[in-house]
Chains A and B, each alone.
Chain A
């Protein structure tokens, strides 16, 4: 209980220190406000443009969540398929390894060309970016059934599908969660890149527009909204993981500590 209470307190404290440092840098260096506006100024920009920010954030969030859901569903389906079928492994794995070698972010201009400036191109970019880490992490978990449980399945004359559902999937859930953590970190990157490449709405678009007009305080405000969005996504995932039936999922604070599972097929 003490830790639960202390966590928000520590976060607030860290935030406070960061704000003080930020303001101190602005005061001490005397940088013009179109280079680095102080926290107070950004706060005012946040307040004044709340409606504008909200409208663009809604577009970004909708694409982010849709792309996230589509990528997770597709990744999970691919991993299950690969785990179940040796033929699929033979056919799909080389393709996946090749596809992984292509930096998906670099596809953003092509996708925008094909799918236009609307929501579709952003959703597809997010989907593609998170598809690989989710597939890779979950597939890894599925294939790493402990030898003792593999023996059990053989002794019990398990059918492949039942073995998958009853043994491999529950065992792979922690690995899937690692993949989801990566996905939640990558997805905001992806959606912003998509908007930068070509969009008439969204927080990424708003940032570019504000930059063009020298409204640095609005840029920072957009950035703050974006950052809180990412944090909310991450917190929502943690919530989901902890309320799930699988309580033994190993806890990790940093999403980056599981990089090793990224890119292994």
Chain B
């Protein structure tokens, strides 16, 4: 596992998007980037994942071990990016098949069982609920065995109860990996993060988290208090912004 450090200004073509970023995301922990829609959260996800786009970093993006990040990052995005024409096993093993290596079908079955989809291996994504689709995407991230996992609003399209269940599942299965969670949901950040920032144009502000280890119980008083404080703070920001 490796840490990821992002320093500098993020530009979108010719316009600055976020300035003075200084994000030290520790190895084997959950780092959470919290921000409102449109602040450029997904741009950071694409940047770390090495995907093309108009974004441009004037600064540095480095892995803790000094090696390049390329090829060591897995991304799980909101839509899940499942192949509608392929069954679940083929969806989970698409990475190996795209690289032209032999897919590990046994491991795919194992992971599908771990995410709670045993017996559904032959189904198509259209036969699944939103939460089940994200479980498949999670299994696909796990089979890639990447050192750094970027989760770009992975659960934001799910209903609240499903979202809480998926957060617990992801926390359990991604334990020990360097996870970068990008979200607009304060509770999600407070539950899962070991380190968290609130993103804004002027830079990222470190968010203080409850002392308990993650994933935190959403009923715990300190989590609820932190959530209330954070919501008040975000509401203030939103009122100022527009």
Chain A residue contacts of B144, Cβ below 8 A? 156
Query: How many angstroms from the CA of A245 to the CA of B83 in the assembled complex?
Result: 14
**A12, CB-defined interface residue at 8 Å:** no
Q: Judge whether B99 and A155 touch: CB under 8 Å.
A: no
**B97, CB-defined interface residue at 8 Å:** yes
Q: In the complex, which range does the number of interface residues on chain A fall in?
A: 20 to 34
Chain A residue contacts of B100, Cβ below 8 A? 159, 161-162
Chain A residue contacts of B84, Cβ below 8 A? 248
- A156-176 interface code vs B (CB 8 A; 1 in, 0 out): 111101110011001101000
**A152, CB-defined interface residue at 8 Å:** yes
The smallest beta-carbon distance between B196 and chain A, in angstroms, is 24
**A153, CB-defined interface residue at 8 Å:** yes
Chain B residue contacts of A161, Cβ below 8 A? 100
Given A155-B73, A155-B75, A162-B100, A248-B85 contact (CB < 8 Å): yes
Chain B residue contacts of A158, Cβ below 8 A? 98-99
Q: Judge whether B99 and A170 touch: CB under 8 Å.
A: no
Q: Judge whether A170 and B83 touch: CB under 8 Å.
A: yes
The smallest beta-carbon distance between A151 and chain B, in angstroms, is 5
Query: How many angstroms from the CA of A154 to the CA of B99 in the assembled complex?
Result: 10
**A148, CB-defined interface residue at 8 Å:** yes
**B158, CB-defined interface residue at 8 Å:** no
Q: Judge whether B85 and A155 touch: CB under 8 Å.
A: no
Of the candidates A148, A166, A167, A173, which one forms a contact with B77 in the assembled complex, judged by CB atoms under 8 Å apart? A148
28 pairs, CB–CB < 8 Å, chain A vs chain B: A148-B81, A149-B81, A151-B46, A151-B75, A151-B81, A154-B50, A154-B51, A155-B49, A155-B50, A155-B73, A155-B74, A155-B75, A156-B94, A156-B99, A158-B99, A159-B99, A161-B100, A162-B97, A166-B94, A166-B97, A167-B83, A167-B98, A170-B86, A171-B85, A245-B85, A248-B84, A248-B85, A248-B126
B: which residues have CB within 8 A of A? 46, 49-52, 71, 73-75, 77, 79, 81, 83-86, 94-95, 97-100, 126, 144
